[in-house]
Structures are given as structure tokens and as C-alpha cells.
């Protein structure tokens, strides 16, 4: 059942003809999501410019029982930002709310609208002599509102935290159209329930985040990025401990990569090459930020590697000699997910487990997956310092892609059962969306699910906010 013309007219009147997309060609880009797993339909995409227009949209949606699907940069990996097949859900694009309202270098804060592209905020902060540390593969197109709604993680969580920790306050339009202005700029405020953190990570199911106060940090005075080849995840764990001892809070990244991931990145990504001469089973990227000086960063990273060589933890290593080389080391890591595509189907997992258990987990999960699918190529890489792995599995060479992908749920269950046994999370940073909704119901305690349902019902009685996602 598509939206009836009268309803389309009423929503269109709020944003104006120009910003109410109804032509299928205009709508198409809003329906295609990065993994091509979730198609959907709609006959209307609304592109409001102001919080008041969003308020009017949600008020009308609640009045008429119309489902609203908020969408930022459309980079989400769990299908949280696309409508279902019914055709009667409206996409609400935040992309025109794209102003950086202010940057306050004395308070180290930026007030930004939801549609600001992450890279734009990073750049604006840097121009003001500050760091906005959130950094993701999709930073060129993802938006702050989506980052907040999914509590995005990325490569700098180790030192700076998730998006949740980078946010001081939010402005949210509730499903009823009411506007919650909680754009606080003070760090300490114990005046009642923590509403902000309910909206962060709720994936647009409780309201629409329209603006936020984000924390800025001093720009590091020096960076150091090293790339090391190792024998095993166990050695990587020891290296992590050593790096933490030497660098403390200066350790701003610690990424684990397997040989096969490096091979894929090198084979399928322009400009990526293996910085080490010999192949190694595993690799670690170490990122250091010094608040003191470039020499200090260099000394720290050299001290880590020297001790690691002496302890036999590292087989070979190289330190980036320029900013360009630092970027290329990171590019290798960031290209790894995309580089799986030319290798056929890939079954993904975004899991976290206690850091100290990572070597055991990898051994156990690898054996279990290979038992299930002999020849599967396991590309388990990611934010080891946070206990967060992208435990991705590329199809066996020559296997039928669709037949492999048809086993997605079965493989997920196998891997997630091990994650659950390790008391880990089945969604460390990507969220639930549509992809993991069924599994959330199986994983989360009934008490927690019940509380989530109570919150959802009391915030969104008409059930219009991103239905079919999360809860």
C-alpha cells in the first residue's frame, strides 16, 4: 500500500515542492545501502532545512500514523536507515541541516547540525587548531546525526571514546513533534535522568537528533604510526600491553590485521602496498599522539618497538616517515572491508570481547567456522585495543557467492554463540538496525528487552519512528 496522494501533499507542503522528492530517480540513491542487503521502497523523501520543519513532519506523522525513516549519510551497515518493502514509509533526510553553528576553542566545543558530514567537522576543528577525533572509513559521507544515532566507533575509540563520549548535549525532535533542546555546553550537570544517552545509539527509533554539542581536543603536537608484522594474535596482545605501558593515553590506535586482509587490500586498492618486505601471519598498526612534540611521539613508538623486538614479539616493523606514509598505513587498514568485495561474498560480524580473550576467541572461532565451511577465508581485523573485531568471512575460492551468502544466519549463529560464551557483544559499533534485530531478541535478557519496549512505547506511542529497527 503506497502513501495516499493527499498525505504526500500534506508532507510536501511542509518542506516545499523542491525538497520533497517523488521521482523514482531522485529517490533511488536513498534506497541503496552500502551492503546491498536491504532494499526497500518509498514514494517520498523529505529534505527539511530546519528543526521546525522536522517538528511539523513528525507531528503530522504521529497524527496520521505514518512511518518516518530518518537518514543521514546512508552509510549504516545494518539497514537502519532504509525503509521496508511496503512503500508507505517516508524517508526523512537530514542532509540539509548541515551548518556548523559554532566552534568554541576556549570551551573545546562545536555545536553542529545533524547533517554535517563528519569530514567537514574534522576539517573545521583542525582549522580552529583543535581535533575532533571521531574517524571512520565512511567519514567522507557519514553525518554527525547518524554517528550519534548509531553511537559510531571507529579508529580513535581507544583514546577518545565512542561518539557517545564525544557528545555533551543534543537537540531532538520527538515523535510527537515536540523539540527537546538539551544543547548543554557544561561538562557536569546532574539535573535528572540522562535523556541524551537514550537518543544516542537508539538508531532513530525514539526521535530525530537534529543538532549536538560535540567535544573538541587539543591537536596532537606529534604523531607516530608504526606497522609491525607478528606471528600471532597472542603476540599482538603482549604488544598492546607493552604499548599501553609506554604510551598511556598517548596510544590513540591499535589495529590488528591478518595476512589475508593485507593481501586483499594490496590486491584491490589503488595506492596500497605492503610496507614490509616479507609476509607475516599477522600485522598491527600502532598510532601514537603526543601532546608534547613530534620527537616525543617518535621516541615513544621507537621505545615500544625496541622492547617488542627484544621480547621477540615482533618479526619486522616500520615507522611512517611522513604524514603521507602515516595515511597510507591507515589506508591499508581502512580499505580492508571494501577489499573483500572483489573476492566474492563476505559474511560479516562486528563483535567485541574482553581484550585479553582475543587470541583464544580467534582460535576457537576460526576452527568452528572452518569446520562449518572448509576453505572459508577469515579476515578478522579491527580495533584490538577496544576488544572490537570485524570478524569477516570471505567465501572459499571458486564457491558460489549466493550459496555462500545464504548461510549468513547459520554462520552468524556459530560465531555469535562463541561471542556470547566469551561474554562479548554481537554488535560492538555498527548497531542493530534490521540486520541483527532477530538476534538481539535472542541475545538480550527479557528484562532488558522489556525495558526497551517500555521506553519505545512511552516515547513513540504511535510507533512512527523507524519501525522495524532495533526493538
* Site string (94-113) toward a second copy, x via CB under 8 A: ----------x-xx------
List the interface residues with a second copy, window 342-381 (CB under 8 A): 352-356
Instruction: Please provide the size of the chain in residues.
Output: 471
Q: How many CA atoms lie within 13 A of 211 on its CB side?
A: 25
- What order of strands is seen across the sheet that includes strand 45-46? 20-21, 45-46, 89-93, 67-71
CA–CA separation, 208 and 178 (whole Å): 11
- Which residues from 165-184 bind a second copy, rule CB under 8 A? 165, 174, 178-182, 184
**Closest Cα partner for 388 from 422, 434, 436?**
422
Minimum distance of a second copy from residue 352's CB (angstroms): 4
Site for a second copy in 385-414 (CB under 8 A): 386-388
Cα(469)–Cα(76) distance, rounded to whole angstroms?
12
Site for a second copy in 118-157 (CB under 8 A): 150-151, 153, 157
Q: How far apart are CA 323 and CA 226, in angstroms?
A: 12
Among residue numbers 268 through 287, which ones bind a second copy (CB under 8 A)? none
Binding-site member from 192, 271, 374, 398 for a second copy (CB under 8 A)? 192
**Which stretches of 65-102 are DSSP H helices?**
none
Quick one: CA dihedral 322, 324, 330, 333, positive or negative? negative
Judged by beta carbon, residue 259 or residue 437, the one nearer a second copy is 437
Does 253 help bind a second copy (rule: CB under 8 A)?
A: no
Q: 3-class DSSP state for residue 49?
A: coil
- Least Cα distance to 195 among 225, 224, 167 occurs for 167
Q: Which of 29, 65, 140, 248 binds a second copy (CB under 8 A)?
A: 248
Nearest to a second copy of 249, 306 (CB atom): 249
* Cβ nearer to a second copy, comparing 83 with 153: 153
If DSSP codes are grouped into helix, strand and coil, which group holds residue 283?
A: strand
Is residue 90 within 8 Å of 61, Cβ to Cβ?
A: yes
Residue closer to a second copy, measured from CB, 206 or 308: 206
x/- track of binding to a second copy for residues 227-246 (CB under 8 A)? --------------x--xx-
Q: Which is nearer to a second copy, 195 or 405 (CB)?
A: 195
Q: How far is the CB of 454 from a second copy (least distance, A)?
A: 4
Residue from 201, 258, 345, 467 touching a second copy (CB under 8 A): that is 201
For a second copy, the binding residue among 148, 206, 211, 435 (CB under 8 A) is 206
* Minimum CB–partner distance for residue 28 and a second copy (Å): 29
Q: Which helix (H) or strand (E) holds 456?
A: helix 446-459
CB of 7 to a second copy, least distance (A): 26
Q: Which of these ranges, 24-32, 38-46, 89-97, 457-465, lies near a second copy under the rule CB under 8 A?
A: 457-465
- Alpha-carbon dihedral of residues 242, 247, 249, 250, nearest 10 degrees? -130
Q: Which is nearer to a second copy, 414 or 437 (CB)?
A: 437
Give the pairing of strands 67-71 and 20-21. unpaired
Do 230 and 221 contact (CB within 8 A), yes or no? Answer: no
Amino acid at each position: 500500500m503506497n502513501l495516499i496522494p493527499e498525505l504526500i501533499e500534506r508532507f510536501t507542503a511542509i518542506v516545499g515542492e523542491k525538497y520533497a522528492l517523488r521521482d523514482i530517480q531522485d529517490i533511488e540513491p536513498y534506497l541503496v545501502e552500502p551492503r546491498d542487503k536491504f532494499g526497500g521502497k518509498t514514494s517520498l523523501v523529505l529534505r527539511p532545512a530546519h528543526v521546525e520543519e522536522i517538528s511539523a513532519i513528525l507531528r503530522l506523522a504521529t497524527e496520521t500514523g505514518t512511518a518516518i525513516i530518518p537518514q543521514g549519510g546512508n552509510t549504516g551497515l545494518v539497514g537502519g536507515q532504509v525503509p521496508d518493502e511496503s512503500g508507505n514509509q517516508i524517508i526523512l533526510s537530514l542532509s540539509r541541516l548541515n551548518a556548523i553553528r559554532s566552534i568554541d576553542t576556549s570551551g573545546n566545543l562545536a555545536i553542529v547540525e545533524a547533517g554535517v558530514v563528519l569530514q567537514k567537522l574534522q576539517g573545521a576543528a583542525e582549522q580552529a587548531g583543535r581535533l575532533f577525533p571521531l574517524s571512520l572509513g565512511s567519514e567522507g559521507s557519514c553525518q554527525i546525526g547518524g554517528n550519534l544515532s548509531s553511537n559510531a566507533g571507529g579508529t580513535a575509540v581507544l583514546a577518545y571514546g565512542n561518539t557517545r563520549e564525544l557528545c555533551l548535549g543534543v537537540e531532538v525532535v520527538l515523535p510527537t513533534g515536540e523539540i527537546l533542546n538539551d544543547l548543554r555546553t557544561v561538562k557536569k550537570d546532574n539535573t535528572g535522568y540522562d535523556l541524551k544517552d537514550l537518543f544516542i545509539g537508539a538508531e532513530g527509533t525514539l526521535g530525530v537528533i537534529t543538532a549536538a554539542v560535540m567535544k573538541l581536543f587539543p591537536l596532537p603536537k606529534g604523531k607516530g604510526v608504526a606497522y609491525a608484522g607478528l606471528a600471532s594474535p597472542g603476540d599482538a596482545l603482549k604488544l598492546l600491553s607493552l604499548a599501553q605501558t609506554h604510551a598511556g593515553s598517548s596510544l590513540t590506535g591499535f589495529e590488528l590485521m591478518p595476512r589475508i586482509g593485507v593481501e586483499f587490500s594490496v590486491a584491490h586498492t589503488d595506492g596500497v602496498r605492503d610496507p614490509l618486505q616479507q609476509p607475516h601471519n599477522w600485522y598491527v598498526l600502532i598510532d601514537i599522539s603526543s601532546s608534547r612534540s613530534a620527537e616525543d611521539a617518535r621516541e615513544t613508538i621507537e621505545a615500544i618497538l625496541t622492547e617488542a623486538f627484544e621480547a621477540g614479539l615482533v618479526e619486522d616493523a616500520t615507522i611512517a616517515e611522513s604524514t603521507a606514509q602515516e595515511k597510507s598505513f591507515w589506508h591499508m587498514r581502512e580499505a580492508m572491508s571494501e577489499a573483500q568485495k572483489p573476492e566474492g561474498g563476505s559474511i560479516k560480524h562486528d563483535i567485541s570481547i574482553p581484550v585479553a580473550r582475543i587470541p583464544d576467541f580467534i582460535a576457537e572461532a576460526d576452527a568452528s567456522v572452518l569446520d562449518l565451511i572448509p576453505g572459508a577465508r577469515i579476515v578478522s581485523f579491527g580495533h584490538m585495543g577496544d576488544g572490537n573485531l570485524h570478524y569477516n568471512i570471505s567465501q572459499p575460492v571458486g564457491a558460489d557467492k549466493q550459496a555462500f551468502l545464504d548461510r549468513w544466519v547459520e554462520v552468524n549463529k556459530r560465531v555469535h554463540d562463541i561471542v556470547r560464551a566469551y561474554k562479548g557483544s554481537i554488535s560492538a559499533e555498527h548497531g542493530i538496525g534490521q540486520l541483527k534485530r532477530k538476534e538481539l531478541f535472542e541475545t538480550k535478557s527479557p528484562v532488558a528487552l522489556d525495558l526497551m519496549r517500555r521506553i519505545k512505547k512511552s516515547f513513540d506511542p504511535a510507533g512512527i519512528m523507524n519501525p522495524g529497527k532495533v526493538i
